[in-house]
Structure 1
Amino acid sequence: MTTPDKRRNARHAARFPTSRWIIIGLVIALVAVAGIYAYTYVGRQTPGAQAPVVPGGEATPRSCTPTDKLVPPCGAWWGMHVPTGENRNMNADVIAMEQKIGRKLDITISYHDMSNSDSGRFFRSDENKIAADRVLLLAWESSIWQENLDITWRDIAAGHYDQAITDQAAQVKTYGKPVLVGFDGEKDRDESGQTPAEYVAAYKRIVDGFRKAGATNALWVWGVTGYYPFRDRWKAYYPGDSYVDWISYDPYNFAVCRGAQWQDFKQTVGPTYEWFQQNGFADKPLILAEYGTESHKSDTSARADWYLDIPDAMRTMPNLKAIIQWNNTDADRCDFSLTGPGVLDAFAKAGKDPYFQQPMVRQSTG
C-alpha cells in the first residue's frame, strides 16, 4: 500500500531535474475565519517578542495574541513533519519527538488523498488529539494513493469530486476550530500537461464547496515549490486574494544530494521570501510547509549550524510566520532527517528561541 510518506518522497524525487541543480548550483528558494470564534491564551508567554517601533519613538507594546487567521504577530510557529512509525499513530509519534526536543510543536502537517478511506478522511482520531493544542495543516492532494491514481484538476473543477469536497467540508465544520487546509502544494512543478487555469478552477471549486457547506473555519493555504527558477510560473496559479489566507513554499538545501552549492538557511529561504514581498503578496502570511537541509560534503558541523542560524534569519523575514521541518528522506535518498553530529540538539535549541515561543490559542468555551 502506498503511504502518505512514500507518496511525498516520490514527489520530492521527481521535483527538479538533477542536471538543472548542478548547472545553477541550487538556486533553491527559497513558501475568513468569520469573527464567530473567541480565543484565549494557552500556555506560553513570549519573552523578548518583537514590537513595532514608532519612528523616532519607543517600541509600541502590542498583544501577541494570534489573529483570527492563526497568524502569530510577535514571532512564528515552530513545527515539524514527524513521519509515522509502524503504529501509524500521528499523535504518539509527535509526542515522542517533542520529548526528544524538549518542547511542544506549535504546528505540524498531515497529508491526505481524495479517497474515502482513512488516507483521505480529515480528522482521524490521532489528528483530533494533535489539533487540540497545536496548529494543524491538512495537505489535500488530488490523488488516490492506494490505487496510484492521479485525479485531474479538470475533473475536480467539473464537479466529479463534489461529494468528496462536501464530505471533507462537513468534517471541518464539525471540528469547529480554525484549521489550515492546503490543496496540491507545489503545483508549479506539474509536468502532466495540466494548466494553471485548470488548477485555479479546481482550487476555487473546493474552496467554494467548503464555504457553501458552512466550513468557514477552514483557512486556505496556497503553495508552490519555492524553487526560485520557477518564479515566473507562480502568479498564473494564484486563485486570488479572497481564496487565500496563507501562502506556502517548500525550500530545501539539497547540497550533497544533488551536487549543489551549500546554502545556509537564509540563502535557502530568502530569495523566494523577497519575491513574495516584492510581487504583490506582502499582505499574506507565509509558511514553510516543508523545509530542511542535507549534509555538507566536508564540514560535519555545517548541518547543525544550519539549524542554529534559523532564529536570527527568521527575524529578518518577519512575514514568515510558520516553519515545518520535513524530518524524512525522499525517494532520491536526499536525507533531510534530523540526524548527524549535533543536529537534533541544534534543532531543539533553535526551537527554544523566544521568537518561537508564541502563545497558543484555543476556541473559547465560555
Structure 2
Amino acid sequence: MAVRPSPTLEQLPLAASGPFTTTGRGPAVPDTGAWFGAFVNAQNRRTGDQLDAIDSFEEMVDRPLALAHSFHPWQDDFPSTYDYELVHRGKLLMISWAGTDTRSIVTGVYDEEIRRRAEAVRNFRTPILLRYRWEMDRPNLFNVVHSPEDYVAAWKHVRAIFTEVGADNAAWVWCPHADGFMDGRAQPYYPGDDQVDWLCADVYSGPEMYTFTQLMAPVLEWARHRPRPLLIGEFGVVQGNPGQRAAWLHEMRLALPQQPQIKGILYFSSEQDSRPRYATTVDKEPDAVKALTLLAKDPWLTRQPGH
C-alpha cells in the first residue's frame, strides 16, 4: 500500500495546551521553542529502576522531562509497561526500535511480527515519536543494513505496514549520526520527504570535543531544504579536561535559539565503560550539572509536558 505524503512543516497543526495532540502523523510540533527530554540509563531494565533513574535525572536538572526515550530491540514487544508508565506521567514518548537484516525484511518474512508491533502502537492511542533503526550509518551495522538502498527499501516496507493498520499516531523519525553528515555517509540513507515525519541527528562531542555548532552545521545545511521538524535524538558530552563539559553544554544552550527548525532535544545519560563515546553522565561533575541544568531550564526549552 502506498504511503500518503506527510504534511509540510507549515501545514502541521500547532501543539495545544493539555495532552499532546496528534497531527495524524504523530505529535503536533511545538509552535515556538522545543521540547527537552532524555534517555536515562539504569543498571537494569526493571521498570521501577528505570523510573527511579528518570526521577533522579529530573531532580538533578530541576525540571520535568517533556520527552522520554525508550529503546527496544527488534524482537521486543512494545509499547512496554515502562512506555505506558512514561506516558501516564505526562511524557511524550520516543521509541527507538532497532532493525534487523534489511534484505530479510523486504522478503516479507517479518511481516506478521511488524504488523503486531504496528497494531500495538495504534492501540496505544497516544502520539509518539518512532525512531526506526537509528544511526543506520554506523560502520558496525553494515552487516545488517548492507547499503543505503537496502535500508530505504526496508524502511518503506515497515512503514507501509504501519500505514496499512492505521498506526498514524506514530511520527517516523530518521536519525543518523551528526558526524555522518560531515563526510557524506548519512545522506544516502534518507528514505524521502514522503516517508519521514521528523528529521533527526545524534550529536556527541567525542574525544575531539567538537562543539555542538561544528557538529550540527552540515546537518542544518542539509535539513533546511526539507520542510520537516528536526530532533536531536541523542546528545551527550564525554568527560575531558576540567570545564570542557560545561563549556560544551553552554555553547549548545546559546546555539539552540538560533535554529528554530530544532523542535526537541534528548540528553543521553549513561555510564558505559566499554563505549567511552557514550559515557555521558555528569552527576559527579558539579560545573557540568550546572551547565546541563541551565540548558534544560532555558526559556527556549521550558515547555512542560503536554504544553
Calculate the TM-score normalised by the size of structure 1. 0.72
Distance 1:272 1:179 in 2: 23
Distance 2:303 2:58 in 1: 16
How far off is 1:308 after superposition? 2.7
Relative to structure 1, the CA distance from residue 200 to residue 218 in structure 2 (aligned partners, 3 Å threshold; closer, same or farther) is same
| 2:164 is equivalent to residue 212 of structure 1 | yes
Aligned to 1:266: 213
How far off is 1:81 after superposition? 0.9
| 2:113 is equivalent to residue 173 of structure 1 | no
Aligned to 1:191: 142
Q: Mapping of 1:1-366 within 5 angstroms? A: 40-42=16-18, 68=23, 69-86=27-44, 88-89=46-47, 90-115=50-75, 120-132=76-88, 133-142=90-99, 151-189=100-138, 190-192=141-143, 194-228=146-180, 231-255=183-207, 260=208, 262-277=209-224, 280-281=225-226, 283-297=227-241, 300-330=242-272, 331-334=274-277, 335-339=279-283, 340-361=285-306
Distance 1:214 1:83 in 2: 32
1:87-138 deviations in whole A, cap 9, x for unaligned?
62233321232122211011121111121xxxx1112122112123111111
Distance 1:341 1:93 in 2: 18
* Aligned partners of 1:110 and 1:136 also within 8 Å: yes
How far off is 1:66 after superposition? 7.3
How far off is 1:39 after superposition? 6.8
Relative to structure 1, the CA distance from residue 225 to residue 213 in structure 2 (aligned partners, 3 Å threshold; closer, same or farther) is same
1:247-289 deviations in whole A, cap 9, x for unaligned?
111111112xxxx2x3333223333222322xx32x1111111
Distance 1:284 1:96 in 2: 33
Distance 2:182 2:142 in 1: 13
Counterpart of 2:94 in structure 1: which amino acid? L
How far off is 1:322 after superposition? 0.9
* Aligned partners of 1:66 and 1:72 also within 8 Å: no
Distance 1:348 1:197 in 2: 41
Larger gyration radius, structure 1 or structure 2: 1
* Aligned partners of 1:228 and 1:271 also within 8 Å: no
**SS where residue 174 of structure 2 aligns?**
strand
How far off is 1:360 after superposition? 3.7
* Aligned partners of 1:79 and 1:323 also within 8 Å: yes
How far off is 1:38 after superposition? 11
**SS where residue 232 of structure 2 aligns?**
strand
**SS where residue 174 of structure 1 aligns?**
helix
* Aligned partners of 1:266 and 1:313 also within 8 Å: yes
Compute the RMSD of aligned alpha carbons. Answer: 2.6
Distance 1:199 1:95 in 2: 36
Calculate the TM-score normalised by the size of structure 2. 0.84
Structure 1 spans left out of the alignment, 5+ residues: 1-31, 44-64, 143-150
Distance 2:182 2:258 in 1: 24
1:127-176 deviations in whole A, cap 9, x for unaligned?
1121231111111112xxxxxxxx31011111111112111111111111
Aligned to 2:3: none
Q: Which moves more between the two structures, 81-90 or 198-207?
A: 81-90
* Aligned partners of 1:301 and 1:341 also within 8 Å: no
Counterpart of 2:243 in structure 1: which amino acid? S
How far off is 1:229 after superposition? 5.7
- Number of positions where the alignment pairs a residue of Structure 1 with one of Structure 2: 286
The percentage of aligned residue pairs carrying the same residue is 27
1:197-240 deviations in whole A, cap 9, x for unaligned?
11111111111101111111111001111214655333322212
